[in-house]
Amino acid sequence: MFYYLFTYLHETFSFPGAQVFQYISFRAGAAVITSLLISLVFGKSWIHYLNKRQVGEIIRDLGLEGQAEKEGTPTMGGLIIISAVVIPTLLFTKLHNTYILLMLFTTLWLGGLGFLDDYIKVFKKDKQGLPGKIKIIGQVVLGLVVAVTMYTDHSIQVREKLPPTAQLIQTSEQSGPGSRYAVENTNALKTTIPFIKNNEFDYAVLLKWIGPGYEKWAFLVFIPIIILIITAVSNGANLTDGMDGLATGTSAIIGATLGILAWVSGNIIFADYLNIMYLPNTGELTIFISAFVGANIGFLWYNTYPAQVFMGDTGSLAIGGIIAVFAILIRKELLIPILCGIFLAESLSVIMQVSYFKYTKKKYGQGKRIFKMAPLHHHFQKMGHPEPKIVLRFQIIGIFLAVLTIITLKLR
């Protein structure tokens, strides 16, 4: 909103300072500050309201130290994060940008799905919440919307470098830095492969065995992959949300890294220097992810040990979906196993635990476990490590993975 308002003031009245809203860096900084203020101010009021209405978390007895003290802690705090993301996005971004519209849809769609789950648990006193199948259907719908939009919307473009010997008709935008980029390739179902030189990968190649014309069927591979990524990361964030500040802090680290990747991918000079795909119009995503980072840090003020509020599925499903869709839009989804290594480890620990237990029970008549408890953070808690130490160490690992993700831009 402010972008359009100050653009109008500048063009119509030459309003002093109005042109500053043209700069992504200024609007990203403003989004961080605004999201922090919203989460801190609104967070305090929301926690007070939840306490007054006795909207508390129902804790299952897992035999963990300090578990009893968490009973009754206000939940559904994910509304704080969602508000602190959506409001700055509406205020500071170009709302006609397709990337921004997709991110807003992702936030509200999965936030609404998680809210419904929390509502059933808290107000209907049903510990099971929303059936798992409904959650999966919701994530599949989101995946379809994102994949189909990327395939059909002509404003979503990829620019690829021409070989050094190729001739290129110069335009005003192509002259100077970045002039080696070809004309926009719309609907290109391509992504980035880490650690590989000339690391662009076309999903259509997976169907090359079909023969001539295989490119037009690339969406048959692309759509299932997008659905799988969104479902996996969203559920991974949900599993990670089991300790005070763990999911929130980890998500802030991931968000900051994605912001850097979006910045360089949307800037023709940096993209040319780093020899990566140039993605026009993705610079606006930097503003969205800045609000996301600010929202998580602000929420961490109340969510750090001992937590005054839990995000619930309202927050965890949304932040996982945001991270997944954002990475997909900037063509860095294959970096998710590295960047979201904490989410991956948590998910794998559950899969391994359940699978091994079922296998041993079927074979030996008694189920055995690999970990003392899953997800992984509870395994370390069972080993006697204090909760704050586990959270901090997981976040240190998250920072290491974030740095590794960034250096993949040049480490090939």
> Which sequence spans correspond to the domains of the chain?
2-58+79-162+178-334
pLDDT given for residue 167 in this prediction: 44
> Token digits for 246?
């763990």
pLDDT given for residue 195 in this prediction: 84
Q: What is the dihedral of CA 182, 97, 235, 86, to 10 degrees?
A: 150
CB 260 within 8 A of CB 402: no
Q: Which helix (H) or strand (E) covers residue 158, if one does?
A: strand 157-158
Residue 358 DSSP code: H
**Minimal CA–CA distance to 244: which of 299, 295, 304?**
304
> 10 Å Cβ neighbour count for 96?
10
pLDDT given for residue 219 in this prediction: 86
> Token digits for 200?
């662009």
Q: pLDDT below 70 — which residues of the chain?
A: 57-63, 65-68, 160-188
pLDDT given for residue 174 in this prediction: 42
* Cα(225)–Cα(235) distance, integer angstroms: 15
> Token digits for 162?
């021409």
**Minimal CA–CA distance to 157: which of 135, 188, 178, 125?**
188
CB 187 within 8 A of CB 152: yes
| pLDDT tens digits, one per residue of 139-182 | 999 999 999 999 888 888 887 665 554 444 443 344 344 455 55
